Structure 1
């Protein structure tokens, strides 16, 4: 193969000794994605409990808690989507914000 043919080849096969490149931040996005998914499940559970309380005689979670969970889940999903589609410090900050939103929601609506 001549030098000009090598220059026009778009992709070359990896050499036997080359290590495959590993995407950085994969575990971090996986963790924050799992936390965001858990917050969505929690928000859906609170919403179902609120709907059930409308039709029965039991006390429900209340409007503040209900809408707070839904808003927190929406914000966490938006931050996770940003983290999944970007790289570097902005993606790490978005993933960290998922954790902060989740901790704030759980602390505000469950422990305080």
Structure 2
């Protein structure tokens, strides 16, 4: 009885499992910031319709800008590997922390 050796071929485009939790964390932060931007814009629209005081121009412009920056950095992190992806993920974290500091805690 003869046996043949099985050869395993790597699938092209397969990503290593390393860094997966980091991409998940930064992706969640970027998506959360985008959701927050939508909520702030919605609050601005509702307050304008009701003639009530609402978020100022600083908040209405700053939240979407921060969300776009975070989502762009996350897209970059998702499409790269290694240190480049790690740095792009760190940019997401910094943008989210800056947005929270400037618009909510500052």
The interval holding the TM-score normalised by the smaller chain is: 0.7 to 0.9
RMSD: 1.9
Question: Match for 1:51 among 45, 51, 60?
Answer: 45
Which 4+ residue blocks in structure 1 deviate beyond 2 angstroms? 11-14
TM-score of the two chains, using structure 2 as the length reference: 0.85
- Aligned counterpart, 1:101: 95
Question: Match for 2:72 among 78, 87, 92?
Answer: 78
Decide which structure has the larger Cα Rg and report it. 1
Listed as ranges, the gaps of 5+ residues in structure 2 are: 10-14
How many residues of Structure 1 are paired with residues of Structure 2 in the alignment? 97
Question: Match for 1:33 among 27, 34, 38?
Answer: 27
Cα 1:79–1:26 change in 2 (3 A) is same
Counterpart CA distance in 1 for 2:79 and 2:85 is: 8
Counterpart CA distance in 2 for 1:97 and 1:60 is: 30
- Aligned counterpart, 1:92: 86
Counterpart CA distance in 2 for 1:104 and 1:66 is: 15
